[in-house]
């Protein structure tokens, strides 16, 4: 797949087959993700991969409950109250793998670095026919000190990206983009 095709046909996938992704494939994708640029080449990412249908469903429930708890402090979330309250709503869409990308906060540019690694991951996955979706709903709970401790993530690492991976259960939806806003200045 040409890079242009990968960039323009990658879509957030929200329906997955239950087939697991081989561990070796996940590792290869994470190696590719790590070719992202990073400030001063600090490569501050730490990956945690969570797998297992029940584990992910349980985590989805915890993420939803956590968001409902903090909703008063985050008015922008109010529009999701109904869907987050729905017990059938799995925020991970039944994907077999969830990749959490934590960044070492001692690296000044860690949010940028880890976000670029996440996009590399998504494009590399897509090139192999593996779908992905960044799940922002997972960030609050998976970033808590308690959850990090459970995963043995050192305290100096902050959660940046939460990306599900899996084999798409259907054809990709068509994407659309706004016209870009750009100005050139030359002298
Ligand atoms: C930071 C971030 C958070 C996101 N959170 C969610 C989410 O919680 N659930 C979801 O279904 N999609 C989520 N998305 C996916 C976006 O909705 C999606 O990228 C956007 O609609 C553009 O569609 P495309 O990825 O198919 O091009 C998120 C994307 C980003 C970059």
pLDDT digits (tens, 9 = 90+) for 50-98: 999 999 999 999 999 999 999 988 889 999 999 999 999 999 999 999 9
Which residue has the least CA distance to atom 4 on ligand 1? 136
Between 110-127 and 23-33, two packed helices, what is the crossing angle to 10 degrees? Answer: 130
Distance CA 177, CA 6 (A): 15
CB of 44 closer than 8 Å to CB of 120: no
- State the distance from the centre of ligand 1 to the C-alpha of 135, rounded, in angstroms: 7
Which residue has the least CA distance to atom 29 on ligand 1? 134
Q: Can you identify the CATH homologous superfamily of domain 3-166?
A: NADH Oxidase (3.40.109.10)
Within 8 A by CB and 6+ apart from 14, the residues are 93, 133
Decide: helix, strand or coil at residue 158.
strand
Distance CA 18, CA 125 (A): 16
pTM for the model: 0.97
**Site to substitute for ligand 1 among 60, 118, 133, 170, most atoms within 8 A of C-beta:** 133
Decide: helix, strand or coil at residue 73.
helix
Tell me if 136 CB under 6 Å of ligand 1: yes
Neighbours of 38 (CB within 10 A): 20
Distance CA 160, CA 32 (A): 18
Q: Which of 27-41, 112-126, 167-181 has the lowest mean pLDDT?
A: 167-181
- State the distance from the centre of ligand 1 to the C-alpha of 168, rounded, in angstroms: 16
Confidence at 181, pLDDT banded by 50, 70, 90:
very high
Ranges of each domain in the chain: 3-166
Tell me if 134 CB under 6 Å of ligand 1: yes
CB of 125 closer than 8 Å to CB of 29: yes
Distance CA 116, CA 123 (A): 11
Tell me if 93 CB under 6 Å of ligand 1: no
Percent of the chain with pLDDT over 70: 100
Tell me if 17 CB under 6 Å of ligand 1: no
Distance CA 74, CA 6 (A): 35
Average pLDDT over residues 156-182: 96
CB of 161 closer than 8 Å to CB of 118: yes
Distance CA 14, CA 31 (A): 24
């Amino acid at each position: 797949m040409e890079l242009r095709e990968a960039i323009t046909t990658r879509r957030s996938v929200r329906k997955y087959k239950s087939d697991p992704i081989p561990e070796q494939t996940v590792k290869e994708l994470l190696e590719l993700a790590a070719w992202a640029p990073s400030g001063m080449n600090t490569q501050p990412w730490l990956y945690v991969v969570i797998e297992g249908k029940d584990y992910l469903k349980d985590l989805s429930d915890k993420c939803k409950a956590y968001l409902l708890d903090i909703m008063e402090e985050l008015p922008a979330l109010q529009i999701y109250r109904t869907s987050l309250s729905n017990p059938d709503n799995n925020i991970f869409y039944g994907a077999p793998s969830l990749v959490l990308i934590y960044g070492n906060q001692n690296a000044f540019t860690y949010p940028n670095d880890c976000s670029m690694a996440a996009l590399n991951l998504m494009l590399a996955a897509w090139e192999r026919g593996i779908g992905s979706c960044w799940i922002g709903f997972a960030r609050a709970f998976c970033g808590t000190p308690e959850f990090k401790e459970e995963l043995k993530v050192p305290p100096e690492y902050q959660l940046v990206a939460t990306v599900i991976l899996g084999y798409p259960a259907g054809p990709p939806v068509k994407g659309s983009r706004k016209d870009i806003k750009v100005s050139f200045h030359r002298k």
